[in-house]
Amino acid sequence: NAGVTQTPKFQVLKTGQSMTLQCAQDMNHEYMSWYRQDPGMGLRLIHYSVGAGITDQGEVPNGYNVSRSTTEDFPLRLLSAAPSQTSVYFCASSYLDRGLQETQYFGPGTRLLVL
């Protein structure tokens, strides 16, 4: 198993550009999520999905879109990048056991710099 994979590992964008951060998992996990990590802030939930076709907002969803057309993939889209979106982005997946997550598996992260 490859676990949770993320691409790219590093990206530089100019303000206003759009891009998609890719996330894939091969563990057949129902639950997938995106977090951003900023210095001194810990990780904050952006969007999540409890299954294909189902997505919802987390704590900091503004400026980001997601979709979940398959169980394996959960891309995160930045529609118009802003410097405030400079961050490290982590994708995670897990099984749901009676509504609660089993161990979350995190991807290696994508480091995004918006100029």
Partner 1 sequence: AQKVTQAQTEISVVEKEDVTLDCVYETRDTTYYLFWYKQPPSGELVFLIRRNSFDEQNEISGRYSWNFQKSTSSFNFTITASQVVDSAVYFCALEVDGADGLTFGKGTHLIIQP
Interaction site with partner 1 (CB under 8 A)? 31, 33, 35, 40-45, 48, 50, 56, 58, 88, 90, 94, 96, 99-106, 108-109
Question: 110-114 and 10-13: which strand pairing?
Answer: parallel
Torsion angles phi and psi, residue 77, rounded to 5: -110, 130
In the complex with partner 1, the residue whose CB is nearer, 11 or 106, is 106
Order of strands across the sheet with 19-25? 4-7, 19-25, 76-78, 64-66
The two three-digit tokens of residue 112, written as one number: 């995004």
In the complex with partner 1, the residue whose CB is nearer, 35 or 64, is 35
> Nearest-CA neighbor of 88 among 43, 40, 47, 49?
43
Place of tokens 């398959």: 70
Q: State in angstroms the smallest separation of the CB of 96 from partner 1.
A: 5
Q: State in angstroms the smallest separation of the CB of 111 from partner 1.
A: 8
Q: State in angstroms the smallest separation of the CB of 94 from partner 1.
A: 8
Q: State in angstroms the smallest separation of the CB of 68 from partner 1.
A: 13
